[in-house]
Structure 1
C-alpha cells in the first residue's frame, strides 16, 4: 500500500492500458456484444475461470517428460527430463544448467473473450527445483499471440529469484507484471482462447521434481466504468480472521520493497493463511530478527517478493505462496459484486481484495492509495463491510468497518480520478481466494457460485 497517491509500477502500467479507452463507451459496448444473458435476463459474469487440477486434467495435456500422479491431491511431476538448458538469473548474475520437462494444456476457449488474463498456479518446489508458466492464445480475429512468460517461480530463494518478466508484447497485447492485457480494448480485439505451458526444472542428475497441484487462468472483460450498481445487503456475519498490521513493520527488511509500508499483500495473505490453520515453524522463522513482532509477516513478504516488479504485490505469487501451506489452494479471480463476497463469507471463505482510492472516497480509512490489499472478513447487520485493513497503526486497530456503497465502488470500478484529477485505472474487482484443498459441499457450492472450481 502507498499511503499517498504515489503510483506503484502496477498502477502506472495498468493506467497505460486504461488510457486506450478514455471514452468509456467502446469497452462497455464491445463487452456486452458477446455476453450471453444469465437466466432471468441478468448479464452474465464477465469472467472466465479455468483450472487444471484433477488427475484426468493432468493426463489431458501434452507432456514432454512430465507425468500425472494420482492421489488425494493429484499433480504433475518430472518423469524423464526432455532436455537440459542453461538459465542466467538476471537478479543474481548466476548461470546454471537445469533439466526440464514440459506440460501444455489443451486449448481453452474463453466463454468471455478477454481483455485481460491472469494465471495462477499451486506447486511444491523443493530446493533445487522451480517452474515457469507461459501463456499463448488466439485473438478474436484468428491470429496467434506469442508465448508469454507469466512467471518464473520457486517457493524459496536459494537457487534463483522468483520473477516476472518485463518487455513482452507484440503491438497488440502485452504482459504487465502478472497480467496479460489487450493493448487497445476499444478496438474490439479480444483474446478468444489460450493454452498454458508449464516447464518444470530441477538440478541435473537428481531425482528432484516440482509437483504442480493446480494451474489455470482467469480471463475477463469488465465494462469500463467509474461507478458500479449498488448491491443489496444479504448476510450479516463475521469470520475470526487473525489481525496483522503492516505498519508495525516499517523499516524492516527494506530490500523487500520498503519494509512494512508496502506489505499490504503479504500481510493480508498471512492473515488468511493462519485463518485456515497455516503455521510457520521456528526453523522457518529463524532468519527474522528476534526483536520483530509477528515475524511471519516478514516471512510472507520475503517469499512473495517479485525481484523484477521489486515488490510483494504480484497477485499470483501471493496465491502460490498461500498454497505452499499444507492443504491450501490459492487463486486470483474477479468477483462481480459484494453479493459474491457475501456468498463466500457465508460459507466461511474470506476474500482478499485489491482497490485504489482517494482519502475522501473511503470514510474512516484515513489515507488514500494508488493500490492496496485488504481482507473482507464479514458484513454488519446494515450490510457494511468488515475488513481487516493492514494499513493500520497496530494489530488491534486492523479491524475496520467501511460503508458498503463506498467500498463496493472503489473495488469494482475500472476507472477513477486521482488526486491530480487525472483519469487512472481501477482493479475491476480483483481478489485472491484461499481455501482448503478438501472442500466441504457448502464451500464447493459457494466457490462454484462465483465461478471458481
Structure 2
C-alpha cells in the first residue's frame, strides 16, 4: 500500500451450499515491520441450519482489535500491507463444496473530519433509478429472535431493495417459512440471511454483501470520498447503500436522529440534492426522500460517523464506473 492503513474491512461473495461454510481472516505487516497474527473477520454460511454465521468477538492485541466487521489498528500502529485468507469447510461426508466468486479488502486511513462541506456536482443531477421501496418499520415486532424488525432492520431492508432492483432474490418456495401475514417477505428472508449471531443483529456490512452474492450478484464494502464519486455509480445505473449517523437537527428533513443507519441512494435532484430510499419511513409509500446535499454529505463523510462507508452491489456483467478525476480508491 502507498499509505499506512488504520482500518481493514473484508468482503466476499460465494456459493456456499448446505453443509458448508467459509472463514475469512486478515493479517497485516506494520510500517515498523512487525507481522500481526490472523484476525477472523467472519464465519459465513448461507443458511443457519449447519452453523450460525458470526463475527468473532474478543480479538484484541498489541496491534489492533476487530470490532464486528472492521479491523482497527491501535494508536501508533499502521499497516503497510495485508494478507487475506479464505478457508473453505464442509461437514464430513458432505458432497457439497463452497465456491468463492470474489474477495476483497478495503484499507483506509482517514484524517479526522468533524465537518465536511458539500462536494461539486458530478453529472448525475436529475437521474433517479427505479429502486423498489421497502420500509423496515412495517416489520416492527416480527421475528424477535432476529432482532424484532423495525429500527434494527435498516441494513437488510436496504439490501433487499437492491436485490429487487437487479431482479434477484429468494423464490416463493424459499420464503415459504415466512409468516404469510407479513408484507414484503423478502425483507424477513434477508434478515435471516444476514443475521450475525455474535453481534445479535443483521447490520454486519460484509454479511449483507455476501447475502447478495447468494443470488448471483457481485459486491464489496468500501469508502467513497464524496457525493461527486457516488454520482458516478448512479450514472452507471448502480444504486448505493450508505451508512450514516446524525442528530435530528443535522439532517432536518429526516425527522429523526440515529447512532447508525443504512439507506439506499437512488439518485439526485436537478440541483444535486440526494434522492434516497430511506427504510426508516413508516410505510413503503413514504420511503422515497430528498435530503440536502450539504447536510447529507456531512453526516455520511465525517469521521465521527462512518467516514463514507458504502455497499456496492451489482450484476457481475454490469459496467462499473471509473473513478472521477482527482479521486483514489481507499
Match of 1:288 among 161, 172, 178: 178
From 308, 312, 319, the equivalent of 1:429 is: 308
Distance 1:257 1:190 in 2: 35
SS at match of 1:263: helix
User: Does 2:216 correspond to 1:339?
Assistant: no
Question: CA 1:332/1:204 → structure 2, altered by over 3 Å: closer, same or farther?
Answer: same
Instruction: Give the deviation of 1:409 after TM superposition.
Output: 0.2
Within the alignment, does 1:445 sit opposite 2:322 as a pair? yes
- Provide closer, same or farther for how the CA distance between residues 241 and 307 of structure 1 changes in structure 2, counting only shifts above 3 A: same
State whether residues 350 and 377 of structure 1, in contact with CA within 8 Å, keep that contact through their aligned partners in structure 2. Answer: yes
CA RMSD, Structure 1 to Structure 2 (Å) = 1.7
The change in CA–CA distance for 1:449 and 1:215 in structure 2 (over 3 A counts) is farther
Distance 2:233 2:321 in 1: 10
Aligned counterparts of 1:444 and 1:404: Cα–Cα separation in 2: 21
Aligned to 1:146: 37
Query: Are 1:354 and 2:243 an aligned pair?
Result: yes
Could you tell me which of 95, 103, 118 is aligned with 1:230?
Answer: 118
Aligned counterpart, 2:14 = 123
Say yes or no: does 1:248 pair with 2:138: yes
Q: Distance in 1 between matches of 2:247 and 2:321?
A: 36
> 1:134-186 CA distances to partner (integer Å, 9 max, x unpaired)?
111111111111110000000111001000000002123000000000122xx
Q: Do 1:155 and 1:321's aligned partners in 2 also have CA atoms closer than 8 Å?
A: yes
Check whether the contact 1:337–1:408 (CA below 8 A) recurs between aligned residues.
Answer: yes
Count of aligned residue pairs for this structure pair: 328
Q: Where in structure 2 are the equivalents of 1:23-422 lying within 5 Å?
A: 110-184=1-75, 187=76, 189-234=77-122, 235-236=124-125, 237-326=127-216, 328-415=217-304
Q: Secondary structure at the match of 2:173?
A: coil
Q: Which runs of at least 4 in structure 1 moved beyond 3 Å after TM superposition?
A: 444-452
Distance in 1, matches of 2:38 and 2:181, equals: 46
CA distance in 2, matches of 1:351, 1:214: 19
Q: For residues 121 and 407 of structure 1, what CA distance do their matches in structure 2 show?
A: 28
- Partners in 2 of 1:112 and 1:278 — Cα distance? 38
Stretch of structure 1 that moved more, 201-210 or 263-272: 201-210
CA contact (8 A) 1:153 1:162 kept: yes
Deviations 1:397-417 (A, max 9, x none): 0000000000000000012xx
Are the equivalent residues in 1 in contact too, given 2:117–2:294 (CA < 8 A)?
Answer: no
Please give the per-residue CA displacement for 1:23-72, whole angstroms capped at 9, x wherever unaligned: xxxxxxxxxxxxxxxxxxxxxxxxxxxxxxxxxxxxxxxxxxxxxxxxxx
Q: What TM-score do the two structures reach when normalised by structure 1?
A: 0.70
Q: Which runs of 5+ in 1 are unaligned?
A: 1-109, 416-425
Instruction: State the alpha-carbon separation in 2 of the partners of residues 436 and 352 from structure 1.
Output: 15
Looking at structure 2, the residues matched to 450 and 322 of structure 1 have their Cα atoms a distance apart, in angstroms, of 27
Q: Secondary structure at the match of 2:121?
A: coil
Q: Name the CA distance, whole Å, in 2 between partners of 1:444 and 1:400.
A: 25
**Which consecutive unaligned segments of at least 5 residues does structure 2 have?**
none
Secondary structure at the residue paired with 2:163?
helix
Contact in 1 for aligned 2:232/2:321 (Cα 8 Å)? no
The answer to whether the Cα contact below 8 Å between 1:265 and 1:374 also exists between their aligned partners in 2 is yes
State the Cα distance separating 1:437 from its structure 2 match: 1.0
